[in-house]
Chains A and B, each alone.
Chain A
Amino acid sequence: MHILVLSTIIFFTGVYGFLTRKNMLTMLISVELILNAVNINFVAINKYMYPENLEGHFFTLFVIGIAAAEAAVAVAIFINLYRNIRSIDVDDVTEMKY
């Protein structure tokens, strides 16, 4: 079960990046790390504890799909923000209305 330790470390690395970064794109990268850690947990527990079921496998598939949708919308928002205020740092973005 050392793979769960690996996923824990990746998860908290993502949390650290999310807390310390100022740029929105690097925060998006941290969120991807967190989602991947959760996916590893799903797959490992599915494989080693309940190999006759496939829940973890399909939940990982759906998490990947939702991550793709989330990244697409987030990148669209970043590009629009950059076009409007020439910056995507969280400190500069005080309002999202335009």
Chain B
Amino acid sequence: MNAISISFYFGSALVIIFAIMSVTSRRLLRSAIYLLFVLVGIAVFYLVLDYMFLAAVQVVVYMGGILVLIIFSILLTSHIGEKLQTVSPLSIVFAAGGVVIGAAVVISILMEHTFITSTTASNELTMKVIGESLLSVSKFGYVLPFEVISILLLAAMVAAIVIAKREKKSEL
């Protein structure tokens, strides 16, 4: 047990606790803030795995974009401090039972399976490598999904504006 593995277990315990609190908290805003801590923890895991660019994207897109959007819409659709209505205990029991059984099955399979970890040293993942393979048309190039994603984001932006736009009649 060296320092890195101890901090890994500590960090993952923290992330799991915050994830559980985020799905069980009765206050909407608190559950969004717990999701923020989960996202920070996952960004730190990416940093530990040496994927700097991915950690930066996680921070910018998830914490800067999606979480702000969620908090914004929470403030628009509910009052601060408003508590959520409780669900019936029966459905909680069924959901928890199914989830525990599923998690137990997957974790037991993970523990039994021996993963062949590669021994080749990973070369440095620089911004140059990422950019060149994102825009390359050769094998292992990602220019097609890159362009498709850009069209998708444009379409989502237009759709969001159209859906959320107030009707002209109601303004009068």
Distance, CA A4 to CA B103, complexed state (A): 11
For B72, the closest partner residue in chain A by CB is A75
User: B99 to A15, Cβ gap below 8 A?
Assistant: yes
Distance, CA A55 to CA B140, complexed state (A): 8
User: B69 to A75, Cβ gap below 8 A?
Assistant: yes
- What residues of chain A lie closer than 8 Å to B137, measured between beta carbons? none
How many residues of chain B have a CB within 8 Å of chain A? 81
Contact of B16 among A9, A73, A77, A80 (CB under 8 A): A9
Is the CB of B2 closer than 8 A to any CB of chain A?
no
User: A17 to B23, Cβ gap below 8 A?
Assistant: yes
User: A66 to B149, Cβ gap below 8 A?
Assistant: yes
Contact of A13 among B9, B20, B51, B149 (CB under 8 A): B20
- What residues of chain A lie closer than 8 Å to B4, measured between beta carbons? none
Size range of the chain A interface in the assembly: 35 or more
User: A19 to B31, Cβ gap below 8 A?
Assistant: no
User: B22 to A67, Cβ gap below 8 A?
Assistant: no
What is the distance, in angstroms, from A50's C-beta to the closest C-beta of chain B? 6
Contact A19 to B98, CB < 8 A, known contacts A26-B23, A48-B118: yes
- What residues of chain B lie closer than 8 Å to A44, measured between beta carbons? 49
Contact of A29 among B70, B102, B117, B156 (CB under 8 A): B70
Give chain B's interface residues, CB within 8 Å of chain A. 8-9, 12, 15-16, 19-20, 22-24, 28, 31-32, 35, 38-39, 42, 45-46, 49-51, 54, 57-58, 61-62, 65-66, 69-70, 72-74, 76-77, 84-85, 87, 91-92, 94-96, 98-100, 102-103, 106-107, 110-111, 115-118, 120-123, 125, 129-130, 133-134, 140, 142, 145, 149, 152-153, 155-157, 159-161, 163-164, 166
